[in-house]
Amino acid sequence: MIFTSETHENYRKKIREFAENVIKPEAEQLDREERFSPELTKKMGETGLLGITLPKKYGGQELDTLAYIIAVEELSRVDASQAATVAAHNSLGIAPIYEYGNKEQKEEWLPKLTTGNHLWAFGLTEETAGSDARGTKTKAIRDGDHWIINGTKRFITNSSNELTLGVTIQAMTTDENGKEKLSAILVEKKTQGFQSQRMTGKMMWRASDTGRIKLENCRVPYSNLLGKEGMGARYMLKTLDAGRLSIAAMGVGLAQGAFEMALTQAKKRHQFGQPISKFQSISFKLADMDMKIELARNTLYKACLLKDQGKSFAREAAIAKLYASEIAREIADEAVQIYGGSGLFKDNPVERFYRDQRLLQIGEGTSEILRFVIARHMGIK
């Protein structure tokens, strides 16, 4: 591809082999049992998937954004749940600590978060806060050298499993003038008053860990403030800009996996004395699927290139995430259509892909919010 080097394609091959050989054999059972696998997460850590872009001094691989996105894409081609674990940990967990943390915070937490033995989460969403971050009800009140935090969070990936080390909590704090502002505070899971519970019964990403968090008088050192007080909203928005690239990668990868299954099925299944791939209605479906994936991938890779060059990429990230998530829905749907009745049963991987794509139009910016973001970049306010 125009955006990738030989190094990138060799890395793709490495991650694809890992996904095919290590993740794929377990994906169906983990989904069926709705079970998060610490063992599989540790293997992903050993492969270097947890800390891909971090400097080597923190235990990272020191690769560029495009390499990271290729990794998420290749994992999603096989299993969206494991891709979600990696994407949330890299983009939402460790990235804010690296980008906005001080020297002590980076040295304290980052080396622990690249091995696969620990995960870190990002606590933004609440009952009244998601697309509207200003709806945050969680409060952090300063008490000398500590924060006292009270509130709840929900839909937080990587927040309630045995590997969870902590969560970056977005909370309302009050400055010296009595004005409320959003701030980000690092809270370890072991903190007294911190409770997390896994949310089950999900339609999609059933093998990833989605948690509900309750904070009751959590007493956290004031030094756990991430960056500057009152800058939480800015940090959150910047984090989501980068995080949208990984969700776009999940869309591209999932679409690629569904397309490959549909293509194989269309060549194998016979009706009226020939493979159904020879019928124009089916061949045109496959051609459209291939075209949409190619366009989504190139749009995404362009955004990664801009980020790696230090250029503005927020608009391109929004476009990539919006388009990739929506074509993932279309392609997963068409893949089921090509399978026919057999695509509706749980022993067929395409059924899992059909379910897993649905969150992509919601997480890290709904399709509606992303259209607003793109319009704003056009000067429409």
Residues carrying an active site annotation: 364
Rounded Cα distance between 374 and 381, Å, is 10
Residue 139: helix, strand or coil by DSSP? strand
Rounded Cα distance between 306 and 301, Å, is 9
Residue 274: helix, strand or coil by DSSP? strand
Q: How far apart are the first and last CA of the chain?
A: 36
Longest pairwise C-alpha distance within the chain:
79
Residues paired with 211 in a beta bridge? 156, 198
CA atoms within 13 A on the CB side of 15: 29
Rounded Cα distance between 44 and 21, Å, is 12
Token pair recorded at residue 187: 């809270």
Angle value at C-alpha 286, between 252 and 29, nearest 5 degrees: 55
Rounded Cα distance between 22 and 41, Å, is 11
